[in-house]
Structures are given as C-alpha cells and as structure tokens.
Chain A
C-alpha cells in the first residue's frame, strides 16, 4: 500500500506526520520515501544509515558537429526551445530539455547523440527496520518531477510505503501523489491553510484518489477548515493540538513518536482511521 502525506501549504507538518507514522508502524514493515526533493527534511529526523548514493541523470542530446547538416528537424520537434540551429552551428541548451527523445528520432543524419544532465542524487538507507529513500535536487536544476518519479519507483509492493510529498499543487505534487492508494492532506486551521487545502483537494480529486485530512495545531486559528471539510464531506482523520513541547522537539530534530508517548498513540490512531477510510471510499 502506498500512502502519501501531502498538503497545499508548506510548513503544516507533512514531514512530522510522515516520519512519526513510519516510526510508530516500524514493526509492521515500512518504507519511507521523501519525495520533497527540493527541500528534503525527513532525513533530519530519521538520521538514517545511508548505504547507497546514486547520481540521477536524464537523457539530453549532444549534437555531433561532424555529422550535423543543420537541417533543423531537431529544433522543429523540440517544444522546449532546447535546440537552436544557426547556419553553421547547432546549439543545445540541456537545462531546457525535457528528455522526450524527439530529436533523436527525427535526426536523418544520426547526429544527435545521447548525453546526460544530472538532476540530483538518490540516497538509500535504513533506520532500524524502516527502509529510507530520498532524493536531493541539484541546486540550480529546475525540474523536480523526473527525480521524484525515480524516488517513487523505489516503492515496494509488499509493504506499507509512506511518501512525504512536496508542498503546492503543481507537477511535482502530482508526480509524488500519482499511483498512491490514499492521500492524507495535512493542514492548519488558518485562512492560508484552508485556501491551500482547497487547492490540494482539487488536485487529489483530479487524480481520483481516496483521501482524508489531518488538522495540525488544531486549536489555533479559526473553525473554517472544520466547517469546509463537513460541507465537502471530506473525512477528518486526526486533529493534533498545538503543543509547545512538540514544537521544540521538532525544532531540534526529534522523533516525537519516540519521545512523547501521546504521539505514538496519535500515529496509530491515524493509521487506523486511514485504513477505515480506504475501505469506505473504495
């Protein structure tokens, strides 16, 4: 089962829920994939023993000047302006390339040769029984989705995979959520929290996936999130009240499910609610 923890708004507690849920359920066989490759944070709490680091690349063209006849077919098929053809030179802008492979297929001279652009790296390791994988986008690289898809590809079928998704509602989030069995959206009861939750719910509905909502710092702000969930018939999975001790533990990088017994119980309750809702919404 693949369970994705997402949110529209950043900083609502996605990573806190993902890492603590993984630790609370660790005896059942859990894998944690941190797909927030722009700003991965789960490792700061899991402190995994990293056993493997691989560079993740994407295929981009390189043009062999000796073979190129400057016909411009590669430039014409490229939708991303990654190739420019001048009268006596062919230029590739690898950072604009989406790796669609079109230029390789149309070149009549076989002058487009495969080359690689580094997207970032993937690291794999463990924390006790929990299997851990995350990605780290190279600073300056714009395209997160292909690296996210690579991390997503590590999910194993035979156990619970927990995915820590990036914030927002655009392509990186879709890449993280696609193919999940359930989405838990983490929000906070504020106008920003509600606005971004509405957008995130829109994205989950587009993907037609079962979902539920966790309200973090549930006693701050106002009651508009609660009311909206009731109107939209979206299940509330868990409410986490603000707790200064938890906020300070989080600030230091502690795993709350290990230091605060109430957190382990909350995470087990959350898991139970998710299983119930998955069955109900199936």
Chain B
C-alpha cells in the first residue's frame, strides 16, 4: 500500500484540485483529507457520510464561581494569561495544561475533556474517504490528523486498497508534521512565484528532516516560466523527483464551481498535464 500526501507549504497552490484529480485517476484507493482546519476536498468528491465519530482531545480548565475564593493562585500560575481578573478562563487562550487545576487550593477548577471536532468515514464516487472537521478556533489539529491517517490506513488494509491519497494542510507546523511522518511519499505542489519558491524550500527541508521521499510538481507553470524552471532545477538538486508541470487552466476553477474534478469536467491542457503527472507518480512510487 502506498500513502501519497499532497502538500505545498504555501496555501492556494492547487493541492486540493490536484488531489481531487488524482482521486479520479488512481485505481483501488482510499481518500483522506488531512487539511482538518479548512477541509475542501469534500466539495469536489461529494461524500455520503456513513459514520461520524466525536474527536476528543485535551482538556480545558473551567472555574466554578461558587467554589472560587478569589485567592488569585490561578492567575499567578497560568503562563498563558488565560485567567481574567474576574477569575474566568478564556477558553480560546487556555492551553489545557492543568497547572491551575492542580494548584487551586479550593478545588474550584474543573478540567473536562474537550470535544475538538469530528471525523467521518464516507463513500464517494471514487471510493471510500476518511475526513474530519476540527471545531472552529480549536487546538489539537496534529492529533486529529494522526487519527484520520490511522483510520485511512486501517480502511485501506480492510479493503485491500493499493493507494491512500491524502490532501495535506498548508504550512510546515504541527498538522503538516503529523500529515507527512511515515508516509510513502509527499507530492509538493509549487507555484512559480517568489512566494511559491520560498515556501517549497521549507516543505522540502521538512520532508528531508523526516526522511520522506519527495515528488515535486509546478502548477500554473506558464504564469512565470523562468520560476517554473528554477523550481525544477531546485527539486533535482535536492534529490526530489520532478514529476511535471501543469499549465494555468481555468477549467480547474470551472470544475470546482460544478463540484467536479477536472478529469471528469473537461478535456484540455489541465487534464492532459495531470494525467501525465499521474503516470509519472505511478512510475516513481510503489
């Protein structure tokens, strides 16, 4: 089984449109959306939800005003300034460390487990899908990513799937680290801009740090062909496999508006390039 995680460093380079297209092209696969804090893959794949599971992780401190003696110990020990002068805890600032709970002499602070979101097992026209929804402004996105990747692997084993194709989050922080560790390979989608080049370098460094093999492609390659070439050279210098260029094609946006992948929507330069890219990926990773 091969787990391919599509990432980009920079947001908005076309990760999800490309993941959707690969979902249509690959055979015998499980799909996974690991961009849990702004998931979009479902908008292309239209999943029918089969199972919903609560995602609980971490705790939040809550002061019981009937027991609180206003002694100020919690204010003193909280390193995150989450306790107000009126002895209420701001749930968005609380880190869930429990230090105030431990030190409150009146035992006035509760520490309930938080429900941070949910994860779903669904069916799509391209096969089963594991996805999730992190609650707005919630923490623990890394843990949720780890959980859904585990579920996707379990499902792939059950169904004898050959591929797990995962849409990853942007950036290089906690949810990205959780998305790529132990994957068979990442496919980094770069855009040919100064920002795109800069951000690609950081995701390639991160993948090297965790020893994950890296494939690189350039999306909207014709917007700035010199930069597209530089990315290709950079990828090869770093020991990544360059798997192709995709031209700017408005059909990606048109397909998205229709809730389809470009593979279903329209023949044209975008579809042609991505089909070629998939052939290359299949050759490189198995």
Contacts and interface: CB of A to CB of B under 8 A. Distances in A.
Nearest to A142: B174
B173 A101 contact: no
A141 interface: yes
Q: State the majority secondary structure of interface residues on A.
A: loop
A11 B35 CA distance: 15
Interface residues of B, number: 60
Interface stretch (A86-94, A200-208, A268-276): A200-208
B253 A77 contact: no
Given A11-B10, A169-B136, A170-B139, A144 B43 contact: no
A168 B137 CA distance: 9
Contacts of B232: none
A41 B195 contact: yes
A253 B77 CA distance: 46
B58 to A, nearest CB: 7
B57 to A, nearest CB: 11
Given A9-B38, A44-B198, A142-B177, A102 B137 contact: no
B136 A10 contact: no
Given A9-B11, A167-B38, A192-B16, A100 B99 contact: yes
A195 B38 CA distance: 8
B223 interface: yes
Interface in B2-27: 9-13, 16
A172 to B, nearest CB: 7
Interface stretch (B123-131, B199-207, B236-244, B271-279): B199-207
Contacts of B175: 170
Contact of A191 (B93, B193, B259): B259
Contact of A79 (B16, B40, B98): B98
Interface of A: 8-12, 15, 38-39, 41, 44-45, 77, 79-80, 98-102, 105-106, 137, 139-144, 166-174, 178, 190-192, 195-196, 199, 202-203, 206-207, 220-222, 247-248, 250-253
